[in-house]
Amino acid sequence: MERKEKNGLVYTNEKCQGCNRCISVCPVLTANYSVQLQKGQRIEVHGENCINCGACFDACEHQARSFYDDTEQFFEDLAKGEQISVLLAPAFEANYPREYESVLGGLKKLGVNHIISVSFGADITTWGYINYITKNGMKGGISQPCPAIVNYIEHYEPQLISKLVPIHSPMMCTAIYAKKYMKIKDKLAFISPCIAKKKEITDPNTHGYVTYNLTFEHLMKYVRDHRISGPSVKDEIEYGLGSIYPMPGGLKENVYWFCGENAFIRQVEGEKTAYEFLKDYKERVRSQKKLPFMVDILNCDKGCLYGTGIEAAKGESEETFYQLQEIKERAKKGHFFGPFSKHLSPKNRLRLLNMKFRKLDIKDFMRTYSDKSKTVSWKQPTREQLQSVFYQMKKQTPEDQSVNCGACGYSNCKEMATAIYNDCNSPENCIHFIKNEVQEFSMELEEKNRSILRKNQEMAQFIKEDFESLNASIDGMLRGSTINAEESSAVSLAMVTISEFCDTLNTSFSGIEQLLQNLEKNNNKITQIAKQTNLLSLNAAVEASRSGDAGKSFGVVADEIKTLAEASRAMADESDINRIEIVEGIQMLLKETVELTHSIADINDRLTNLAASTQEIVAETDVVKSISVNVRERLEELNH
């Protein structure tokens, strides 16, 4: 699998909860930086500033930190036919006593040429330390087997570089011995309990002697995943008490073994104390106070046995200590007459140690150190700059600037402000800032509530006045609706009377129509009588003419009768004409009366509905008025 390029060896994975625990244990102020997310934050690793001490791995309950090493690259290159030999950390056997030999056998099967224990290199380191310190009169020299400690001093306490003992670590002493004295030309891989060893490997001052750093954790995962094993194989070179270097105080015990216990060796372990010790030690050196013979200092509180690159499950057991104790006793028993014999005095042991390495040139195992403080992206703010950051954090008083609650992960408010100045954090992650923000928001909210209450009271007053007007209007509507209902009922009753009158009128018109029909019959009879009278008049006139003068008077009568008959007939004809006109008029009145009756019935129905609706309006208006009164009373209660 292709290795992803990262800015550093240690990085943050997807499990980060932004809890600040990593910040709280990190010895470097700017090795972590906060990234603001939509929800919360994520703490990333600043690769240039990180010293790979692994403190964050121990502190993080979410397992949000991971690291890179060269395990996969090592196996890829081995498969390609690269010539590789292995340097083996003494802690490997102590951590894997049952798998140790089969794993080495598996590596041999895959093509590894040599397997050399770094315990032998540790013996060289002890020899080099004692000789350099005693011959050069060095006081207070700081041991450097721990690359995290060396990283820290070179990057953050360069004033102590002169106190680093200029002898290579056991790993480098083994590599130099393999290359220069055993003439091994292979690439060298270090099976290591430490993440930070990669930094030592790539440091220009180690000259590229070692190519790969294979941590226990990644190596054993790869071995198990790929089922790598082989015939039992052990390392190739005999070693002594260098095997106990991984223990806390392992170097001190080696020095005591050869120099006696009168030599004062200051032993320091653990991320919580080691870096604070170095800060204090710097002041001690500067003040020219009394110093120890040397300082045996390790980053990990249980030494390299439980280094940063071991499997987490191994760190939960004490078994590794007991395994290393067995290795220690075995080393002493195997050297009855040598420099590691417990039957000799420290002086004789040292003499034999010098004889053992008499062919070695100490200059081959010496190293230099570099001031790398300028490569670190870190700036110390001035007092004014720090004060400016405090103002961003809403910390304007000395009391606010020294709350030192630690919730941000830093030891004190000044460190948090310095981290903000270096763009590693932001004021939003300060609980005091958040509290002030909440308080200010609360005050703004309270003021808004007061403003809203005032507006509500004003609105309530307006609404109260509007409801009073509404109630007055509702009362008027009630009165008007009641009158409308009463008037509608009265009109409806009047319409009923008119409808009854129309019915009576229809009956009267029917009677008149019957009388006119009788009149028509009478006129017909009068016309008949007139015709008969006229006929009698003619007959009388004929008779009168026949009678001569005697019939003249009778003729006059006959003429009068004729005249009367014609007048009767004319009157009957005229009466009949009038009757026809009267009948037509009555028929038209009957028709219109029917239409009027229908209209009156329709109006009556509408008036009935109107009266019912008006009654409903009155009832609903009563309900509206009741609601209006209740609302007004509630508003009055709110106002008070």
Q: Are strands 32-36 and 84-88 parallel, antiparallel or unpaired?
A: unpaired
Q: What amino acid is encoded at 109 in this protein?
A: K
Q: Which of 98, 367, 92, 69 is nearest to 246 (CA)?
A: 92
Residues 108 and 121 in one domain: yes
Residues 474-484: pLDDT tens digits? 677 667 667 76
DSSP, residue by residue, 516-554: HHHHHHHHHHHHHHHHHHHHHHHHHHHHHHHHGGGGHHH
Supply the pLDDT for residue 5: 37
Mean pLDDT of the region 514-521: 72
Residues 297 and 340 in one domain: yes
Residues 320 and 342 in one domain: yes
Reported as a pLDDT band with limits 50, 70 and 90, residue 451 is confident
Write down the residue that tokens 């002898």 correspond to: 167
- Bridge-partner residues for 294, per DSSP? 141, 265
Write down the residue that tokens 């798998």 correspond to: 99
Last residue of a domain, one of 24, 41, 68: 68
Residues 116 and 27 in one domain: no
Residue 10 to residue 1: CA distance in whole angstroms: 18
Mean pLDDT of the region 557-575: 71
Please report whether residue 529 resides in a domain.
no
Residues 294 and 352 in one domain: yes
Supply the pLDDT for residue 1: 30
Burial class (CB in 10 A: 0-12, 13-18, 19+), 296: buried
Structure letter (DSSP) for residue 48? T
Structure letter (DSSP) for residue 290? -
Residues 422 and 492 in one domain: no
Mean pLDDT of the region 561-566: 72
Please report whether residue 54 resides in a domain.
yes
pLDDT at 571 over 80: no
Residues 53 and 193 in one domain: no
Please report whether residue 489 resides in a domain.
yes
What the block records as the tokens of 8 is 């550093």
Q: Which of 349, 295, 326, 317 is nearest to 97 (CA)?
A: 326
Residues 481 and 600 in one domain: yes
Residues 603-619: pLDDT tens digits? 777 767 766 776 777 67
Tell me which residue range forms the domain holding 395.
383-401+410-429
Mean pLDDT of the region 144-159: 95
What the block records as the tokens of 572 is 């009957």
Please report whether residue 106 resides in a domain.
yes
Task: Tell me if 127 sits within 8 A of 357, measured CB to CB.
Answer: yes
3-class secondary structure, 45:
strand
Residue 60 to residue 48: CA distance in whole angstroms: 21
* CATH number, position 57: 3.30.70.3270
Helix axes 271-286, 147-156, angle to 10 degrees: 50
Q: What amino acid is encoded at 360 in this protein?
A: L
Phi then psi for 265, rounded to 5 degrees? Answer: -115, 120
Provide the domain count of the chain: 4
Residues 282-341: pLDDT tens digits? 999 999 999 999 999 999 998 888 899 999 888 777 888 788 888 777 766 655 568 888
Residues 576-589: pLDDT tens digits? 777 777 767 767 76
Please report whether residue 89 resides in a domain.
yes
- Bridge-partner residues for 41, per DSSP? 36
Residues 112 and 225 in one domain: yes
Please report whether residue 530 resides in a domain.
no
Runs of H (alpha helix) within 379-430: 383-392, 413-421
Structure letter (DSSP) for residue 184? -
Measured between alpha carbons, how far is residue 562 from residues 525, 544, 546, 556 in Å?
17, 14, 18, 10
